[in-house]
């Protein structure tokens, strides 16, 4: 039976707002090929301030910005530099953070923890990844002990291989089933765009490319509306001969940024800021790196336990679709159907893209929008797998629900 009320510890933390740039395709032909990563973050922070004019900039206590590859235009203590470039007062500090794909999610939970214990009142948290400028793992030098002492399977250093390993572990998740899920993701995103549900939280970005001049980017570049099962069946399996993971049932290589505004609930009320969600609990968990996609399962179980809730209490899920098999293994574990209406109502990363460290806030922004649409749902979850064998889950409460605040 669903639990009536969750446990609460410390000060209540609310998600005030979240925005993102349109996501682009990584590479020389992508929309952000000649745009700096830090400038993408700056656009998001400026938009947050524009959308929340009752917030004095000097009331922001910290800026946490994540990036997986912290070098070049994603380096130099990104939270601080992006804050300064955004026009925030010099008194507002900032820092950079890295938990690979869950970077922005960790930026949120870390700063939210600071709010919970009273160290902060208002924070900005987000992430960026320009995979065109900085491919995943660029410049990395893994310690040779990983291989010589067999601390991890060599396959763990390639995310596509870990997805194939997950298919091996769960043979009932076939390529056909993964492809069907991927087609559904494309269709749901196309429907969400058609209904105008994605556009309100996108930050238009001006870009310039040699020979093309200036353009205003207002929509995501990766989606492939109209994708069919036949289209996906024809794709090669790059990680294994006769494998099951393809470019069609996995997220691509993408560029983009996100940012969110979090506050103590009483501070939000004081400043006239609208609470779109309230944080209930969060958890991170480690798993075998060679099957990193299963990470959201133990993370979700831990977050539910900390909240005193069950999976039946969760009325909406935003699960990052790094690979279809990763989402399907989560759904199977909890007995949720592949096409359950609670899961990724606007589609997911297979369709919209996954600029690594930025994606966590995209999940939260979409969940907040769905909470507003559906007051019958009290609790929602954002979850994702993380490279090198981890998972993350955050549980949120819907302020539009009749029992909110009980």
- Report the pLDDT value the prediction gives residue 183, as an integer from 0 to 100: 98
Mean pLDDT confidence for 176-204 = 98
pTM of the model: 0.95
- β-strand pairing of 94-97 with 62-66: parallel
Catalytic site residue from 130, 134, 167, 385: 385
Closest CA relative to residue 7, chosen from 95, 116, 107 = 116
Amino acid 211: pLDDT: 82
Q: Does the active-site annotation cover 44? A: no
Q: What is the pLDDT of residues 22-61, one digit of tens each?
A: 999 999 999 999 999 999 999 999 999 999 999 999 999 9
The half-sphere exposure of 234 on its side-chain side, counting CA atoms within 13 A, is: 5
Q: Is 90 exceeded by the pLDDT of residue 280?
A: yes
Q: Comparing 11-25, 140-154, 208-222, 357-371, which segment has the lowest mean pLDDT?
A: 140-154
Q: What is the pLDDT of residue 354?
A: 98
Lowest-confidence segment of 92-96, 103-107, 142-146 by average pLDDT: 142-146
> What pLDDT sits at residue 165?
95
Q: What is the pLDDT of residue 150?
A: 83
Mean predicted lDDT score pLDDT of the chain: 95
Cβ 323 vs Cβ 158: under 8 Å: no
pLDDT tens digits along 376-392: 999 999 999 999 999 99
Query: pLDDT per residue over 131-165, tens digit each?
Result: 999 998 888 888 889 888 888 887 777 899 999 99
Choosing from 101, 130, 133, 167, the catalytic residue is 101
Mean pLDDT of 196-200: 98
- Residues whose CB falls within 8 Å of the CB of residue 310, separated by 6 or more in sequence, listed in order: 1, 2, 3, 304
The 10s digit of each residue's pLDDT in 293-327 is: 999 999 999 999 999 999 999 999 999 999 999 99
**Residue 339 pLDDT more than 90?**
yes
Identified catalytic residue from 130, 133, 134, 354: 354
Predicted local confidence at residue 245, as pLDDT = 97
Sign, CA torsion 197/100/63/267: positive
Secondary structure E strands in 196-297: 205-209, 213-217, 254-264, 277-286
Question: Above 60 in pLDDT, residue 234?
Answer: yes
Q: How much is the pLDDT for 9?
A: 53
Structural contact between residues 133 and 260, judged by C-beta atoms closer than 8 angstroms:
no
Q: Name which residue leads in pLDDT, 227 or 210.
A: 227
């Amino acid at each position: 039976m669903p639990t009536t009320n969750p446990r609460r510890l410390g000060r209540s933390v609310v998600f005030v707002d979240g925005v993102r740039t349109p996501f682009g395709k990584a590479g020389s032909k992508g929309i952000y090929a000649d745009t700096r990563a830090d400038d993408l973050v700056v656009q998001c922070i400026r938009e947050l301030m524009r959308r929340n004019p009752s917030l004095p900039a000097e009331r922001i206590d910290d800026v946490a910005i994540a990036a997986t590859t912290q070098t070049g235009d994603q380096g130099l203590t990104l939270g601080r530099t992006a804050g300064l470039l955004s026009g925030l007062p010099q008194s507002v500090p900032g820092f950079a953070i890295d938990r690979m794909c869950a970077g922005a999610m960790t930026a949120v939970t870390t700063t939210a923890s600071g709010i919970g214990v009273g160290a902060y009142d208002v924070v900005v948290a987000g992430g960026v990844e320009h995979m065109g400028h900085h491919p995943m793992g660029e410049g990395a030098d893994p310690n040779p002990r990983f291989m010589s002492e067999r601390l991890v399977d060599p396959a763990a250093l390639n995310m596509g291989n870990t997805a194939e390993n997950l298919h091996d572990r769960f043979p009932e998740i076939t390529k056909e089933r993964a492809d069907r899920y991927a087609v559904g993701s494309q269709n749901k995103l196309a429907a969400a765009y058609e209904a105008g549900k994605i556009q309100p939280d996108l930050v238009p970005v001006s870009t310039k490319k040699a020979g093309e001049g200036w353009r205003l980017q207002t929509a995501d570049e990766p989606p492939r509306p109209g994708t069919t099962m036949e289209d996906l069946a024809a794709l090669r399996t790059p990680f294994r001969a006769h494998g099951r993971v393809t470019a069609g049932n996995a997220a691509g290589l993408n560029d983009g940024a996100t940012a969110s505004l979090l506050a103590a609930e009483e501070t939000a009320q004081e400043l006239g800021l609208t609470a779109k969600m309230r944080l209930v609990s969060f958890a991170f968990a480690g798993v075998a790196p060679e099957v990193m996609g299963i990470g959201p399962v133990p993370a979700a179980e831990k977050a539910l336990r900390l909240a005193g809730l069950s999976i039946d209490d969760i009325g909406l899920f935003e699960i990052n679709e790094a690979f279809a098999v990763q989402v399907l293994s989560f759904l199977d574990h909890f007995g949720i159907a592949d096409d359950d209406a609670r899961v990724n109502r606007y589609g997911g990363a297979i369709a919209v893209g996954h600029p690594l460290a930025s994606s966590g806030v995209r999940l939260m922004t979409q969940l907040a929008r769905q909470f507003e649409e559906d007051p019958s749902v009290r609790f929602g979850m954002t979850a994702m797998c993380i490279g090198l064998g981890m998972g993350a889950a955050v549980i949120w409460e819907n302020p539009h629900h009749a029992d909110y605040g009980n």
